[in-house]
């Protein structure tokens, strides 16, 4: 595993997936000077009420990697529900809705190009 430079970045955006709610979202950024590849991991970050981490795994598609995100709800006694997006392009909205039961973790994955210099995870609690 290579060493990865991580920086946090937060931004507010309109939740296009739920325009009637007009919720604000926030994203975290993991950056790499040399580009991410299978075997890299993103250290845990806590934001929007969840603890989030990821790891990159080999994909059967050449030039791609399988980025596996873990979303844990350790901070309370209620379920967390909201918008989520895992991407290599700066996000401006949710891609799907997730529900994380209190005290539990769930996983979601995306296929991303190998060698990207940033991985973003965007969350917005509803």
Interval 15-42: pLDDT, tens: 333 333 334 688 999 999 999 999 999 9
Interval 70-83: pLDDT, tens: 999 998 789 999 99
Please name the residues in contact with 19: beta carbons below 8 A apart, sequence gap of 6 or more.
none
For residue 32, the tally of other CB atoms under 10 A from its CB is 19
Average the pLDDT over 50-76 and give the result.
94
- Full-model pTM: 0.79
Look-up of token digits 């790891």? 55
CA distance 121 to 19: 20
Q: Are 103 and 74 in contact (CB under 8 A)?
A: yes
């Amino acid at each position: 595993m290579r060493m990865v430079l991580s920086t946090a970045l937060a931004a507010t955006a309109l939740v296009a997936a739920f325009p009637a709610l007009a919720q604000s979202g926030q994203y975290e950024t993991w950056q790499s000077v040399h580009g991410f590849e299978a075997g890299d991991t993103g250290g845990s970050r806590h934001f929007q009420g969840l603890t989030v981490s990821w790891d990159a795994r080999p994909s059967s598609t050449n030039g791609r990697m399988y980025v596996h995100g873990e979303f844990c709800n350790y901070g309370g006694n209620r379920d967390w529900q909201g918008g989520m997006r895992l991407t290599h392009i700066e996000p401006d909205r949710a891609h799907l809705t997730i529900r994380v039961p209190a005290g539990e973790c769930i996983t979601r994955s995306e296929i991303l190009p190998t060698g990207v210099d940033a991985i973003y995870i965007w969350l917005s609690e509803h």
